[in-house]
């Protein structure tokens, strides 16, 4: 598409266009041998082709693009050149669609996929899967189920690429300082909150925070809470389940010394930079992204907490996924790219380097983090001791009010209102937002 060459804001990464071809024409193409697809049936090199990929929300970093896309494609599909277009001013999803230059592939998450659907870019990939012998049975069922939710009759608008799991990080030094036992796998939110109270104290002029509960939305995902009644177009924030979540946060924030001059959100910086937070629930990819800061820290992880009746369940399904767009002019080439990067070989490398795989392969899971120095001796398998909660369809209207619970944290931490009042007012405000959007 000519207009794409006019974009100034994109990251161009070249897989390889030199004539380096491996394999034998008689080889069959499989998930573990996609290189055989780099020749035609009569053993001639395939014509060079450019496949473009939109990195929505920049959900995949440049180093992982290199490790999991570029390098494998150099080896397996040397005739393919990959262009990665970043989500930024000048190349937003809306701008690319308006210019008629949306890429062949979309990279994003199941949580943000509604934006892609809203632009009518979805393409049922079931026929492409059959044509290219893609076995969806290799993937964790919950990862493909999350994508199936976007169709009404079995359509598959994308394919899983990587997974994200919750965990609870903890700083051993803070526990050792106060002689408190470390957290363990399988704890409830109440147990972690109580443990955190023992560590929220001042020592040598430093205020330590025993347990920062993170975001309301992440805790709610542990019991797969929905945000609204879609048919009635009304929010559900004033129900007992949501109020239970709000009460858990208010309890955590009420620990003496937790709120300091109005500050209540210590987060990852409080854990890895200030080193004052003892426990913090996080995503696996947050840990990976902070590996430099974690170097030299005495840290470990356990399973992400949950409520007693939900122990063993993790956060709701959170996957990164790829989709061949309806406007792609290179659908077959894009599918060959997808086969390479979802192969056992690439998924094993991803797992070893700290990005959880979406494949039903125990050996790949066991290899998680084995090539990340900071993970040596850590309980990184805690990630897989909980099963992701059932996915549910995130709609356009729900996106309008998803920020409300997290925005209420300040009120829960520093306000004088009780949980019932916070829940009622939040529901009223959310309903007003929904009504205005009609």
Q: Which residues face 235 on adjacent strands?
A: 228
pLDDT score of 14: 35
**Range 163-184 average pLDDT:** 98
- 113-161 confidence digits (pLDDT tens): 999 999 999 999 999 999 999 999 999 999 999 999 999 999 999 999 9
Whether residue 34 is predicted with pLDDT greater than 80 in this model: the reply is: no
Whether residue 335 is predicted with pLDDT greater than 70 in this model: the reply is: yes
What letter does residue 233 receive in the DSSP assignment? T
- Range name among 34-38, 146-150, 255-259, 410-414 with the lowest pLDDT average: 34-38
Over the range 126-161, which residues count as b (16 or more CB within 10 Å of their CB) and which as e? eebbeebebebebbbebbbebbbbbeeeeebbbbbb
The answer to whether residues 243 and 112 belong to one domain is: no
Instruction: From residue 175, give the alpha-carbon distance in Å to each of 70, 180, 208.
Output: 43, 5, 11
pLDDT score of 161: 98
Whether residue 20 is predicted with pLDDT greater than 80 in this model: the reply is: no
The answer to whether residues 267 and 416 belong to one domain is: yes
CA distance 13 to 65: 9
**Range 308-335 average pLDDT:** 97
Indicate the residue among 348, 365, 388 that finishes a domain: 388
Non-local (6+) Cβ contacts of 274 within 8 A are 266
- Range name among 9-23, 187-201, 319-333, 400-414 with the lowest pLDDT average: 9-23
Residue 18 pLDDT level (bands cut at 50, 70, 90) = very low
The answer to whether residues 202 and 65 belong to one domain is: no
Domain containing residue 14 = 2-163+318-388
The answer to whether residues 326 and 309 belong to one domain is: no
**Range 315-344 average pLDDT:** 97
Question: Into how many domains does the chain fold?
Answer: 2
The answer to whether residues 120 and 137 belong to one domain is: yes
- The bridge status of strand 49-55 relative to strand 105-109 is parallel
The answer to whether residues 9 and 96 belong to one domain is: yes
The answer to whether residues 20 and 113 belong to one domain is: yes
- Range name among 1-15, 84-98, 110-124, 197-211 with the lowest pLDDT average: 1-15
- Which of 17-21, 57-61, 267-271 has maximum average pLDDT? 267-271
Domain containing 326 — which CATH number? Answer: 3.40.190.10
Q: Is the dihedral of CA 17, 19, 22, 27 positive or negative?
A: positive
pLDDT score of 29: 44
pLDDT more than 70, % of the chain: 90
The answer to whether residues 69 and 151 belong to one domain is: yes
Who wins on pLDDT, 372 or 7? 372
The answer to whether residues 271 and 400 belong to one domain is: yes
Residue 340 pLDDT level (bands cut at 50, 70, 90) = very high
Instruction: List the helix and strand counts (H, then E) for the chain.
Output: 20, 16
**Range 64-71 average pLDDT:** 96
Q: Which residues face 234 on adjacent strands?
A: 229
Distance of CA 307 to the CA centre of its chain: 22
Whether residue 1 is predicted with pLDDT greater than 80 in this model: the reply is: no
The answer to whether residues 24 and 103 belong to one domain is: yes
> Which residue stretches of 230-290 are H helix?
240-253, 267-272, 284-289
Q: Which residues face 105 on adjacent strands?
A: 53, 324
Residue 38 pLDDT level (bands cut at 50, 70, 90) = low
The answer to whether residues 77 and 134 belong to one domain is: yes
Residue 44 pLDDT level (bands cut at 50, 70, 90) = low
Averaged confidence pLDDT in the chain: 91
Q: Which residues face 109 on adjacent strands?
A: 320
């Amino acid at each position: 598409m000519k207009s794409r060459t006019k974009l100034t804001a994109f990251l161009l990464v070249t897989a390889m266009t030199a004539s380096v071809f491996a394999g034998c024409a008689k080889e069959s193409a499989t998930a573990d041998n996609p290189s055989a697809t780099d020749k035609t049936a009569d053993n001639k090199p395939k014509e060079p082709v450019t496949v473009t990929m939109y990195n929505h929300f920049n959900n995949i970093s440049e180093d992982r693009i290199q490790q999991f896309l570029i390098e494998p494609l150099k080896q397996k599909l040397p005739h393919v050149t990959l262009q990665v277009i970043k989500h930024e001013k000048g190349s937003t999803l809306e701008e690319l669609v308006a210019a008629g230059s949306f890429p062949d592939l979309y990279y994003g998450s199941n949580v943000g996929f509604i934006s892609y659907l809203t632009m009518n870019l979805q393409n049922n990939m079931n026929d492409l899967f059959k044509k290219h012998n893609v076995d969806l049975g290799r993937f964790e069922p919950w990862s493909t189920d999350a994508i199936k939710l976007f169709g009404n009759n079995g359509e598959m608008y994308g394919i899983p690429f990587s997974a994200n799991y919750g965990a609870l990080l903890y700083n051993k030094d803070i526990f050792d300082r106060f002689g408190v036992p470390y957290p363990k796998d399988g704890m409830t939110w109440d147990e972690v909150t109580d443990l955190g109270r023992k560590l929220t104290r001042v020592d040598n002029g430093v205020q330590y925070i025993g347990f920062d509960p993170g975001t309301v939305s992440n805790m709610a995902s542990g019991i797969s809470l929905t945000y609204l009644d879609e048919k009635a177009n009304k929010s559900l924030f004033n129900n007992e389940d949501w109020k239970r979540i709000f009460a858990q946060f208010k309890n955590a924030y009420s620990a003496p010394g937790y709120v300091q001059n109005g500050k209540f959100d210590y987060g990852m910086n409080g854990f890895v930079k200030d080193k004052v937070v003892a426990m913090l629930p996080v995503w696996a990819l947050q840990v990976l992204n902070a590996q430099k800061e974690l170097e030299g820290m005495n840290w470990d992880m356990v399973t992400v907490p949950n409520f007693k009746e939900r122990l063993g369940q993790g956060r709701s399904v959170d996957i990164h996924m790829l989709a061949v767009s309806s406007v792609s002019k290179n659908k077959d080439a894009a599918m060959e790219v997808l086969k390479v990067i979802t192969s056992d070989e690439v998924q094993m490398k991803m797992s070893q380097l700290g990005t959880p795989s979406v494949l039903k392969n125990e050996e790949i899971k066991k290899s998680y983090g084995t090539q990340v120095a900071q993970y040596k001796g850590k309980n990184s398998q805690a990630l897989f001791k909980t099963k992701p909660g059932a996915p549910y369809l995130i709609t356009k209207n729900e996106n309008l009010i998803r920020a409300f619970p997290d925005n209420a944290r300040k009120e829960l931490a520093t306000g004088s209102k009780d949980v019932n009042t916070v829940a009622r007012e939040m529901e009223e405000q959310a309903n007003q937002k929904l009504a205005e959007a009609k």
